[in-house]
């Protein structure tokens, strides 16, 4: 197998082009079933793990260890009433769950689940499609998924879903920038947009270790991209009820739920593909038995294992971190992740260019380090513009009436004077119409009237 | 049996995008079926309050009648910035794939390009376009 690794591999795309049509159908069904089962499993897994983190058992009644709980929940949802609010736009309300669900499935088509295997007597690769633009397919699918969110919120004809959809859409597109930029360094190293070739390029080392800043940015942005805690601002129950799917019920709601969990699985699989060596065994195991652990049906095993680690991280985050505030969240995306990504890309480009130019690694790192430091300092000394604040400013509303300053001091009620008229008589009469004077006179009148 | 299948369906002529279309058809059929089946499978008990928009506490004003709901302008700004950076990514990807062929020229060009977008980015930052209040 070691010799095999160094020998020119048969192109995965060519191998997949040899798939007969019935095998494509089988693989398509396989991916569909895998995603649905992963969703059911992930819902159970999340509830169990979060429950353990909170010292309670979690669902354990339906099936062994509660494994069938999510299936039962899904069936229950199917037999609930399908409500369409009066104000909802009929067709868009109908289409939005479909638009949100289909791209979620579609993105998984390009994930290389494993290497070459014999499937029903045909030598093929464990991947549905190996496109020369595989990475773009995944990004495109996540972009199209935003339409489902926006349209569902807009078509519900209700304020909470509208706000939730806007938040969600702004969040997803903001973090898509960071995600897309973090992938650039991987493509620079692999020289390909094909997912299978990116995995093959990671035989010796994982990009998650070599390009660790990219990996970290990707990890943060994948949580933001999927609207998961601590970035689940779109579904902030305390503010927005359920977010964009507040008005949905029955199977339409189930489709949004399905899409969310499939997206989680997809971004984890994508991270595995781009940064964790895909279906390759971990380093210390890849040499065992002449690379037997790197071949055949061991591939999907490693792939699923790596994916599960990332999915566990999702659950772990949810069990650990409180929800972020929206402005903090957007600040993290636009003011931290994007500039760091851009600087990192420039750094990688420069390193590669200098190495190609025959410089030694030490020279390269020194030169690039100085350049990056200079850029970072430049970026960091740009101060945030402070809002001009004038303490004596009188606020004017749109209608032209001046408002009192918002930090108005409410005068103290003169309780002592009211209680003891004798002490009050000893004090000098208020000469000016100060607030306290006004209050005192009114209270005096009130007490007189009372008597 | 399988050999017969293979012989019957010569595999060379299939476009690489066929599997993608197959998965799309399957997923779309599943989703449309679910959405269409929902009203048929579930019960139907009329209640006027159920069909109202979800509300809590004070009635929102103005009511977001479909298409008429107003939204904070900051979201439009975010969408515009997204387009700006998405276009940047569109140019970065082809460069990343072909960076070795382009050589030093490509490096200079892409650094200039990132710097250009960087100026726009710094401007937006200074003008408070990235702030949420």
A52-94 pLDDT, tens digit per residue, is 999 998 888 888 888 899 899 988 988 888 888 887 888 888 8
Residue-level pLDDT at A39: 92
* pLDDT for the residue A380: 66
Domain boundaries, chain A: 12-283+293-324
- pLDDT over 50 (residue A395): yes
Q: Which residue would you say has higher pLDDT here, A445 or A25?
A: A25
Chain B nearest-CA residue for A137: B20
Residue A445 pLDDT class (50, 70, 90 cuts): very low
Whether B51 and A85 lie within 8 Å, measured CB to CB: yes
Please check the confidence at residue A450 and state whether its pLDDT lies above 50: no
Higher local confidence (pLDDT), A117 or A427: A117
What pLDDT score was predicted for residue A387? 57
Average pLDDT over chain A, rounded to whole? 79
pLDDT confidence tier of residue A307, bands split at 50, 70 and 90: very high
The beta-carbon neighbor of A82 closest among B5, B39, B107 is: B39
What is the tens place of the pLDDT at every residue in A221-249? Answer: 999 888 887 888 777 666 677 778 888 88
Instruction: Note the pLDDT of residue A393.
Output: 61
CA angle A274, A280, A286 (to 5 degrees): 140
pLDDT in tens, A6-21: 334 557 777 777 778 8
How many angstroms separate the CA atoms of A99 and A91, rounded? 12
Dump pLDDT digits (tens) for A110-130. 998 888 887 777 778 888 888
Q: Nearest-CA neighbor of A111 among A93, A92, A130, A94?
A: A130
- What pLDDT does A328 receive? 84
In a mutational test of the A interface, the residue from B21, B44, B64, B120 whose CB has the highest number of chain A CBs within 10 Å is B64
Q: Pick the range with the lowest mean pLDDT from A215-229, A367-381, B119-133.
A: A367-381
CA-based nearest distance B103→chain A, Å: 7
Structure confidence at residue A392 as a pLDDT band (50, 70, 90): low
Distance between CA atoms of A257 and A244, rounded to whole angstroms?
A: 12
Residues 6+ apart with CB under 8 A from A133: A193, A194
- Position A352 scores a pLDDT of 81
Each residue's pLDDT tens digit, A345-368? 888 888 887 777 766 666 766 777
> Which of B12, B107, B117 has the CB atom closest to A353's CB atom?
B107
Identify the pLDDT of residue A7: 39
- Per-residue pLDDT, A404: 62
Q: Which residues on chain B are in Cβ contact (under 8 Å) with A128?
A: 19-20, 23
Q: Would you call A85 exposed, middle or buried from its count of C-beta atoms within 10 A (0-12, 13-18, 19+)?
A: buried
More confident residue, A449 or A28: A28
Q: Among partner residues A89, A101, A177, which is closest to B27 by beta-carbon distance?
A: A101
Q: What is the pLDDT of residue A44?
A: 93
Task: Give the pLDDT confidence score for residue A438 in this predicted structure.
Answer: 45
Q: A21-53 and A250-275 helices cross at what angle (nearest 10)?
A: 100
Two tokens, residue A209: 């270790």
Burial tier of A60 (Cβ tally within 10 Å: 0-12, 13-18, 19+): middle
Q: A158-172 burial string, b = 16+ CB within 10 Å, else e?
A: bbbbbbbbbbbbbbb
pTM here is 0.79
Nearest-neighbour CA in chain A from B4: distance (Å):
11
Contact criterion met (CB < 8 Å) for A16 and B110: no
A29 CB neighbours in chain B (<8 A) are: 26
* Inter-chain touch A157–B104, beta carbons under 8 Å: no
Q: If 0-12 CB within 10 Å is exposed, 13-18 middle and 19+ buried, where does residue B21 land?
A: middle
A402 φ/ψ angles, rounded to the nearest 5 degrees: -70, 145
Residue B108: partners with Cβ closer than 8 Å, 6 or more residues away: none
Distance CA A8, CA A180 (A): 30
Structural domains of chain B ordered from first start: 7-126 (1.20.58)
Nearest CB among B41, B93, B125 relative to A184 is that of: B93
The pLDDT value given to residue B9: 42
The complex scores an ipTM of 0.82
Number of H-type helices and E-type strands within chain B:
3, 0
Lowest mean pLDDT among A92-106, A107-121, A265-279: A107-121
Residues 6+ apart with CB under 8 A from A287: A2
How far, in Å, CA of A104 to CA of A266, rounded?
Answer: 8
Chain A nearest C-alpha distance from B27 (Å): 5
Distance from the Cα of A313 to chain B's closest Cα (Å) equals 27
Cβ distance of B42 and A250 shorter than 8 Å: yes
Kindly report, residue by residue over A20-44, the tens digit of the pLDDT. 888 888 889 999 999 999 999 999 9
pLDDT band of A398, cuts 50, 70, 90: low
Secondary structure E strands in A358-424: 395-396, 402-403
Q: Which of B16, B19, B67 sits opposite A28 (nearest CB)?
A: B19
Cβ contacts of B113 on chain A, cutoff 8 Å:
none
Work out the percent of chain A whose per-residue pLDDT is above 70: 78
User: What pLDDT is attached to residue A449?
Assistant: 44
What pLDDT, on the 0 to 100 scale, is given for residue A313?
Answer: 92
Looking at residue A439, what is its pLDDT? 46
pLDDT(B85) > 60: yes
pLDDT, tens digit (0-9, with 9 covering 90-100), for B27-58: 999 999 988 888 888 788 888 877 777 776 66
A342 contacts in chain B (CB < 8 Å): 114, 117-118, 121
Question: Minimum mean pLDDT among A229-238, A256-265, A337-346, A430-439: which range?
Answer: A430-439
- What average pLDDT does this structure show over A286-312? 82
pLDDT(A207) > 80: yes
User: What tokens were used for A42?
Assistant: 């992930």
Q: How close, in Å, is residue B65 to chain A by CA atoms?
A: 6
Between A55 and A430, the higher pLDDT residue:
A55
Helix (H) or strand (E) holding A419: helix A415-419
Looking at per-residue pLDDT, the higher value among A387 and B109 belongs to B109
Higher-confidence position of B131 and A253: A253
Most confident of A14-28, A262-276, B48-62, B91-105: A262-276
Lowest mean pLDDT among A38-47, A92-101, A267-276, A412-421: A412-421
Which residues of A are less than 8 Å from B67 in CB distance? 89, 154
- The pLDDT value recorded for residue B79 is 87
Q: Which of B14, B56, B118 minimises the CB distance to A342?
A: B118
Which pLDDT score, from 0 to 100, does residue B126 have? 83
Cα separations in angstroms, B3 against A18, A122, B7: 14, 9, 6
Q: Could you tell me the two tokens for A443?
A: 């209270």
Distance (Å) from the alpha carbon of A20 to chain B's nearest alpha carbon: 5
């Amino acid at each position: 197998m070691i010799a095999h690794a160094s020998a020119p591999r048969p192109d995965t795309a060519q191998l997949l082009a040899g798939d007969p049509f019935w095998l494509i159908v089988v693989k398509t069904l396989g991916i569909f079933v895998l995603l649905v089962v992963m969703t059911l499993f992930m819902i159970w897994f999340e509830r169990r793990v979060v429950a353990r983190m909170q010292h309670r058992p979690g669902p354990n009644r339906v099936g062994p260890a509660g494994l069938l709980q999510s299936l039962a929940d899904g069936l229950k949802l199917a037999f609930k009433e399908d409500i369409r609010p009066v104000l909802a736009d009929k067709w868009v309300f109908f289409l939005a769950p479909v638009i949100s669900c289909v791209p979620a499935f579609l993105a998984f088509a390009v994930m290389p689940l494993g290497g070459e295997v014999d499937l029903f007597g045909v030598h093929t690769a464990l991947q549905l499609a190996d496109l020369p633009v595989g990475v773009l397919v995944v990004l495109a699918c996540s972009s199209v998924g935003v339409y489902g969110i926006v349209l569902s919120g807009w078509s519900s004809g209700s304020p909470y879903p509208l706000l939730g959809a806007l938040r969600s859409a702004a969040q997803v597109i903001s973090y898509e920038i960071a995600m897309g930029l973090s992938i650039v360094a991987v493509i620079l190293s692999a020289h390909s947009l094909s997912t299978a070739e990116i995995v093959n390029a990671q035989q010796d080392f994982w990009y998650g270790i070599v390009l660790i800043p990219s990996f970290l940015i990707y990890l943060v942005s994948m949580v933001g991209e999927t609207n998961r805690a601590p970035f689940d601002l779109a579904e902030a129950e305390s503010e927005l009820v359920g977010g964009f799917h507040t008005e949905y019920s029955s199977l339409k709601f189930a489709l949004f739920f399905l899409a969310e969990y499939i997206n989680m699985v997809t971004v984890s699989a994508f991270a595995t593909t781009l940064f964790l060596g895909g279906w390759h065994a971990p380093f210390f195991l890849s040499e065992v038995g002449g690379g037997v652990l790197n071949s055949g049906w061991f591939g999907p095993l490693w792939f699923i294992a790596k994916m599960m680690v990332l999915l566990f991280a999702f659950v772990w985050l949810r069990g650990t971190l409180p929800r972020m505030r929206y402005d903090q969240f957007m600040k993290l995306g636009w003011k931290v992740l994007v500039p760091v990504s851009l600087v990192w890309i420039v750094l990688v480009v420069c390193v590669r260019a200098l190495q190609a130019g025959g410089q030694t690694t030490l020279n390269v790192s020194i030169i690039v380090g100085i350049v990056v430091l200079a850029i970072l300092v430049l970026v960091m000394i740009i101060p945030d513009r402070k809002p001009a604040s004038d303490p004596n400013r009188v606020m004017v509303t749109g209608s032209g009436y001046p408002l009192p300053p918002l930090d108005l001091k409410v005068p103290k009620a003169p309780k002592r004077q009211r209680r003891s008229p004798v002490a009050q008589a000893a004090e000098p009469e208020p000469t000016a119409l100060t607030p306290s004077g006004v209050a005192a006179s009114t209270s005096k009148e009130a007490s007189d009237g009372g008597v | 049996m399988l050999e017969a299948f293979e012989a019957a369906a010569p595999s060379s002529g299939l476009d690489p995008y066929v599997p993608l279309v197959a998965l799309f058809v399957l997923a779309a059929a599943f989703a449309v079926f679910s959405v269409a089946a929902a009203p048929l499978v579930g019960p139907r008990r009329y209640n006027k309050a159920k069909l109202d928009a979800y509300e809590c506490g004070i009635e929102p004003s103005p009511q977001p009648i479909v298409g008429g709901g107003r939204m904070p302008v900051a979201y439009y700004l975010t969408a515009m910035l997204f387009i700006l950076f998405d276009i940047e990514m569109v140019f970065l990807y082809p460069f990343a794939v072909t960076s070795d062929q382009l050589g030093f020229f490509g490096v200079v060009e892409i650094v200039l390009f990132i710097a250009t977008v960087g100026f726009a980015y710094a401007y937006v930052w200074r003008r408070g376009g990235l702030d949420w209040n």
